[in-house]
């Protein structure tokens, strides 16, 4: 077989498009296939943060302490719909096992390396793709209801400090200088200046697709059903029976990637942490930084297209209908926490975070063939880690040693 193209990327989200651009920059011919077109998945509606300081894995003893209380509230920060509880039990068991002190230390070190690479790669990548004007450096303000909540967060901050992350603990007056208008119940906060954001994640993802096309890459619609490794390439079989061929394939189909990996005999425990939000008109609040209401599991973000209120984790799989009462519940809380927030005119959204149980992505070659490279499972951090992932994938595609050690991201680690 003669491969038609050097590389086909499956999935035109922020991860797939970043990988495709990085491959094109190495001189490879590239097409991206997506069943719906660019920015159809989580990359469109996320909170827009480059959360480089977020190095602590979600799978940690801290979350185990908070989870029982959160699970009591059906519209709270963490829910497991009864219809999906049994199905997700094996993933939760792996998540629980990843919460040991030794595993958390390991994941934190791996996450820090990927964050550092992603941060170093980001601005040059934005400059090369003509999207640098979309970058905002407004930091993040994590707020606490009382000194006890701040105190409970201190071990996490100490761990971040050990990895060189800058932050400042603030009292109410200090917070008001950065962000006026918080309800008085928030008495303490922590500001991290090294947390960036993008003006709008959907527009950014679409701009990456435009850049790729303008530089000779293809972006096409095709629902991929299966992969078939051949001696000198890979066949990509479409749901409509169509077949495409490439010398190599990058699998970046977000929360749906495991279904395609399964067709080459690989069982990867990918699940989705469904997240919800409401995007209000731009004038809804005078927001100066991204605010994280950590105790309530949501953030408020200023985008060029509006004020986005959202977060939450619903472990409900890929098929259950969205429950937009969750978006409403967060908006109601946001109104109480930011009394001047105007709640009218919002647009609701639900998206599928692609999540592996140890909170690390899967980046590396498939078990069945080195010609398929996995690049998915970034959970809460796909935008943040997109430029670093693209650099690693381009290294793998061109036979170079990746810029960082990727053993911890091995798709076969489970």
Binding site for ligand FAD (CB under 6 A): 10-16, 33-36, 40-43, 46-49, 51, 223-224, 252-256, 260, 275, 277, 310-311, 351, 353-354, 376, 378-384
Cβ-based neighbour number of residue 283 at 10 Å: 10
State in angstroms the smallest separation of the CB of 49 from ligand FAD.
3
For residue 151, the minimal CB distance to ligand FAD (Å) is 26
Q: What is d(CA 261, CA 177) in angstroms, rounded to the nearest whole number?
A: 49
What CA dihedral angle connects 401, 13, 67 and 324, to 10 degrees?
A: 180
Output the six-digit token pair for 130. Answer: 């003509």
H/E run at residue 44: helix 42-45
Angstrom distance (rounded) from CA 119 to CA 111: 12
User: Please, which residue, 241 or 399, has the CB nearer to ligand FAD?
Assistant: 241
In the complex, the smallest distance separating the C-beta of residue 53 from ligand FAD, rounded to whole angstroms, is: 12
Q: How far is the CB of 201 from ligand FAD (least distance, A)?
A: 7
Q: Pick the closer one to ligand FAD by CB: 353 or 391.
A: 353
**Angle, to 10 degrees, between the axis of helix 386-397 and the axis of helix 101-128?**
80
Q: Rounded to the nearest whole angstrom, what is the least distance from the CB of residue 350 to ligand FAD in the complex?
A: 8
Q: Which is nearer to ligand FAD, 232 or 304 (CB)?
A: 304
- Cα–Cα distances (Å) from 181 to 6, 46, 130, 239, 286, in that order, read 53, 24, 35, 51, 8
Please calculate the CA angle 23-367-111 and round it to the nearest 5 degrees. Answer: 65
Backbone angles phi, psi at 237, to 5 degrees: -100, 130
Q: Is the Cβ of residue 14 or residue 264 nearer to ligand FAD in the bound state?
A: 14
Judged by beta carbon, residue 190 or residue 272, the one nearer ligand FAD is 272
Smallest gap from Cβ 171 to ligand FAD, in A, equals 27
- Judged by beta carbon, residue 190 or residue 355, the one nearer ligand FAD is 355
């Amino acid at each position: 077989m003669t491969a038609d193209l050097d590389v086909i990327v499956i999935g035109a989200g922020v991860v797939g498009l970043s990988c495709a651009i990085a491959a094109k920059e190495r001189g490879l011919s590239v097409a991206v296939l997506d069943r719906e077109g660019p920015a159809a998945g989580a990359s469109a509606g996320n909170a827009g943060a480059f959360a480089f300081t977020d190095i602590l894995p979600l799978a940690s003893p801290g979350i185990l302490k908070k989870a029982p209380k959160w699970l009591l509230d059906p519209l709270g920060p963490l829910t497991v719909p009864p219809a999906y509880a049994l199905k997700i039990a094996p993933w939760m068991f792996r998540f629980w096992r990843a919460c040991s002190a030794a595993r958390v230390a390991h994941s934190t070190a791996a996450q820090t390396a990927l964050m550092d690479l992603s941060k170093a790669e980001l601005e040059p990548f934005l400059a090369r793709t003509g999207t640098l004007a979309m970058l905002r450096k407004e930091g993040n303000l994590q707020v606490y209801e009382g000194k006890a909540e701040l105190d409970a967060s201190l071990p996490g901050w100490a761990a971040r400090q050990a990895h060189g992350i800058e932050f400042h603990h603030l009292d109410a007056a200090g917070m008001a200088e950065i962000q006026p208008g918080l309800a008085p119940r928030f008495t303490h906060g922590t500001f991290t200046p090294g947390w960036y954001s993008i003006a709008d994640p959907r527009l950014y993802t679409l701009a990456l697709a435009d850049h790729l096309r303008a530089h000779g890459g293809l972006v096409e619609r095709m629902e991929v059903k299966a992969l078939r490794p051949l001696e000198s390439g890979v066949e990509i079989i479409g749901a409509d029976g169509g077949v495409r061929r490439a010398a190599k394939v990058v699998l970046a189909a977000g929360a749906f990637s495991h279904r395609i990996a399964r067709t080459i005999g690989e069982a990867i425990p990918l699940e989705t942490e469904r997240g919800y939000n409401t995007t209000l008109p731009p004038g809804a609040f005078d927001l100066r930084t991204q605010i994280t209401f950590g105790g309530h599991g949501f953030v408020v973000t200023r985008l060029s297209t509006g004020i986005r209120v959202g977060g939450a984790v619903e472990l409900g799989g890929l098929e259950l209908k969205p429950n937009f009462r969750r978006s409403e519940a967060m908006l109601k809380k946001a109104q109480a926490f930011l009394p001047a927030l105007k709640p009218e005119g919002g647009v609701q959204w639900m998206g599928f975070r692609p999540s592996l149980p140890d909170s690390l992505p899967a980046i590396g070659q498939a078990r069945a063939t080195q010609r398929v490279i996995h690049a998915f499972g970034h959970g809460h951090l796909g935008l943040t880690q997109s430029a670093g992932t693209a650099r690693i994938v381009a290294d793998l595609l061109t036979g170079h040693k990746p810029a960082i050690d990727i053993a911890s991201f091995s798709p076969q680690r489970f």
